[in-house]
Structure formats: C-alpha cells, structure tokens
Chains A and B, each alone.
Chain A
Amino acid sequence: MSGLFDLVVNNPLLLAEAALNGLLLGGVLALLALGLNLIFGVLDIVWIVYVDLAMLSMYLIYFTVQVYGWPLILGAVAGVGLGILLGVGVHLLIITPILNSPPVNQLLATGGLLFFIQSLATFLWTTDHKSVRLALPTLEIAGMFVSFARLIAFGLAVIVMIGLYLFLTRTYIGTAIRAVSQDRGAMALMGANPQKVYLVTSAVGGALAGVAAALLIIQYSVHPYFGAAFGPITFMICVLGGLGNMVGAFVASFIMSEIISIGGVAFSTEMGYVIAFALFIVMMFIRPSGIFSKRQ
C-alpha cells in the first residue's frame, strides 16, 4: 500500500486528478452497466455480447467522422441509431428463439454472437486501433489536468442517465418496463403484449450502448477486442451493484472506476484493475447478490 500512501502524502493533487478522472470514467461505464441491467431486469437474460455492440457503433462513428468527414454530432446520432437497430436485431433474431431455453443455452447464444462479432470485426477492419482525432483541449482546473473530451462525455452521460430515469418513471412504457422487471406475468394481465415491452427494452438498451459508444470513441480508440477490454469490468459492475438493480449499477460504476483510476495511478494500470477485481471477489464472499441487495 506504500504506493497509495505515497500518493496521498506527497502528491495529493495527482490523487485528486485520478479521482476526478475516475469519476468521469464512471459516468460512461454507468451507461453500459445500466443498459445491461435494464435488459436483464426485463428479460432475465444477460447479453454477454453487449459491450461488443457498443464497439460496432464506435466503428460506425469512426468511419463516418474520421473517414467520411461527417460532423461529430451526426456521427454520434448514427451511432445511437445503429445501437437501436442492433438491440432490436439481437432481440428478434437471437433472443426470441431462445426465450424459454435453459440458461446455459441463452448464455451461449449471446456468447456465440460475441465470437462472431469480434471475429467479423477483425476480418473487416483488422486489429488496428482506430481513433477519432479531435482537437479537444486539455483543461487545467486547480492544478489538475483534465481532458475536455472526458468532461463532455461525463456531462452527456449524466444527461442521458437523467433522461433514462425520467423515461422509466414518467412515461407509460417506461413504467411498464419497470413493472415487467418486477413481475413479468402480471403485466400480461394488464393487456401489455410482452413482446412489445421486450422490443422497447432491447431498443433502449441498444440506444444506451450507442450513446456509450459515442462517448467512448472520443476518449479511446476502437479495435475488435474492445469488448474484451471493457466487457468484464461492465459485468463486474453489474454483479457488484446487484444484477437487475439500476441504482446499484450506478453506484458500483463509480466505485469500480475510482478504484481503477486511483489504483492505476498509485501502482500500475493492471494493478488498478486487479484491485478492483479483488474487491469484487471480496464482495462476492460477503454479499454476492450485490451491495444494495436485501439479505436473504
């Protein structure tokens, strides 16, 4: 722990900067975690391939903006649009046929899709990292250096999350989605066609992935195994917060991102991840159903 102690005592500004960056990262991770949780809450199926769908949107934004010169806003909208299409597509083609299959088959179906998408991306675009080059400045706030892109990404993430919250609590279909996640059968008795609710949920989940993609592509480069880099951390956030628990996922995103960020600066990037995951294992031992779950 000497690295951390050293950081706190000798370089508090660096620590603060890492904490800030962690916060900003957490915002975007939260979008992915919320999307995954939303779909699981309603359908009881984990889309292992979820982050890879964001990866595809990232490629789209890269091609439209970097290669074809579209303005970023338009590219981002295209990315979100692709996200929605992918969400609906995956639901109709992959999920609907296996809705009543045993869990192992459901997990394998999205797992197989993961293989397929990652390899297809490798085939089409090679393993080269591709990034959208933006001339966005690095700001200096109270002695800390923060990338403007990160700041914007965080701000937009927060706005989208507020939008999601309003959607889920104020609209009819949003409340119906929450209702289905609490009792699937009862909603059918209200006259709601379950398939319609599933479709909307998948579309919203896909849209969230698309938004996350837009926010990620301005900070990171995309490559076929992007999902392998960001996927596991997303899963871990979901489990830490309690699978299906939206508030839990939100909080867990920031806990994880802070640990990764501060740990990354105090020790090494990998160690940051290792500590985050070690926390995950510890939490597993204490309360595997998530930090906000009620004791059985």
Chain B
Amino acid sequence: MLELAGISAGYGHFTALWDVALRVNAGEAVAVVGPNGAGKTTLLRVISGVIAPRAGTIAFEGAAVAGRPAHDVVARGIAHVPEGRRLFPGLTVADNLKMGAFLPPARAHFAESLERVFTLFPVLKERRAQRAGSLSGGEQQMLAIGRALMSRPKLILLDEPSMGLAPVMVLRLFDLIRLVRAEGFTILVVEQNVRQVLKLVDRAYLLEVGRIKMEGRADELSEQEFVRKAYVGL
C-alpha cells in the first residue's frame, strides 16, 4: 500500500533522514522503532505531507505523493495522529471528532464513523461534550486516534502514541490499537517503547540517526540485541 524509496529529508541545514526505504502492505501493522532523535517523527511528517522530502519517492496505492501538501495526502486516505496528539484544546470531544471528518467523503459517512469510534472508545461517548483540553492523557490519545478514524482512512500513522502515558495506560492503549487494527485499518506506528510495540505489529524497522539499520518480522526482532538493550536500559 505504501512504499518509500530513497527518502532524504531535513530541516534547514540539518538532514534528519538519509536514503530511507520502507514498505507497508495492506492490512499490516508495521512499526518504526529507534531512539530519541532518530528521525521517526520526521519520517511520518514526510509521509503525511507536512514536510517535503529532499529526495526519494513515496508511492501510496500506486500514486506518487512525495511533496504533496498535507490536505491532499489526507484526502487520499492517510490519517496522521501527530506526536503530542495536537488536539484542539478549546473544542469539545464531539467537535474534535467532527473536525476529523472534515473532508466531504468522510462527512457523508459521519454518523457511521462516529458510532464506530464510540464503540471502540466508550469513554469518548461519555465525555463527548467535554473540552478536549481537560481530558486525561490516555483519553486524549484515544480522542486523537478516534479523530483520525473519522476521516475513514486506509492507512493510519501513529506518532509515539505511548508518549506521556502511565505504563498501565500504555498497555490499555496498545490493546485498543489492536482493536482498531482488527477493524481492518492498516497501521504504521512510530514508537520508542520497543518491547510493547513489537508485541503489536507484524513487521518493524529500526531507525537510528536517520537511517534504517534493521528490518524484519516483529517476533524475530524481539530477540535482537537492541531490544534487550532497550529493556535493560543500557
């Protein structure tokens, strides 16, 4: 479904990604893991069109999308749940979800999508009239994912979903992501929490200092040195 080749990108004089290649097949859940500052967020931003790559190609369902503006990429079916959630704090939960379904095709199926989100995340239904800024961290993450689902995407990009959440919440969150995946969505998740995310996905890539260092099936990768290192905290 998604194919990156030779992607280089950065900010100003600084290059964050060098010659990155990866692939996500339809129905898969793929992770990109790596330490802080590896370029993971930049990678997602390049895919969703927030920043343009300096070199390389991105093909989504066969169409070239590298360098296309964000609203265009979203229209094609990629939803990006950004780092830090970036909810609209002054808007209610319901309004945030409404904004997720901004595009006409999504708006046409608004009621249906809303029902699905409320079924997956019942707490959002409870708090639908509450200001998004006053939700707890876990609830905000659920809202962020729910908002992405409202656009009826084909591919969901998740940027560090576990960030800022208590460990118990992280486990619950990954369970919920499993449910989302079970609904048939293809997922590309970027995470620092290596152990947990590898339990969730089919395949993973290791990104370090802007380059793909390793790739493979999740169960194989969990045996690798770097995962054990991450666990022990070396």
Identify the A interface with B (CB < 8 A): 172, 175-176, 178-179, 182-183, 185-194
Contact = CB atoms under 8 A, between A and B. Distances in A.
B134 to A, nearest CB: 13
Interface of B: 48, 50, 69-71, 74-75, 79-80, 82, 86-91, 95, 98-100, 102-103, 106-107, 147, 151
Contacts, number: 68
Nearest to A196: B71
A23 B86 CA distance: 39
A176 to B, nearest CB: 6
Contacts of A178: 88, 90-91, 95
Nearest to A179: B88
B98 A172 contact: yes
Contacts of A172: 98, 102, 107
Given A189-B80, A189-B82, A190-B151, A179 B71 contact: no
Contact of B151 (A182, A185, A191): A191
25 contacts: A172-B107, A175-B95, A176-B99, A178-B91, A178-B95, A179-B88, A179-B91, A183-B87, A183-B88, A185-B50, A186-B82, A186-B86, A188-B71, A189-B86, A190-B74, A190-B99, A190-B100, A190-B102, A190-B103, A190-B147, A191-B103, A191-B151, A192-B99, A193-B69, A193-B71
Given A189-B70, A190-B151, A191-B102, 16 more contacts: A175-B99, A176-B102, A178-B90, A182-B88, A183-B87, A185-B86, A186-B87, A187-B102, A188-B50, A188-B69, A189-B48, A189-B74, A190-B71, A191-B71, A191-B103, A192-B102
Contacts of B147: 190
B91 A182 contact: yes
A182 B107 CA distance: 22
A176 B151 CA distance: 14
Contacts of B69: 188, 193
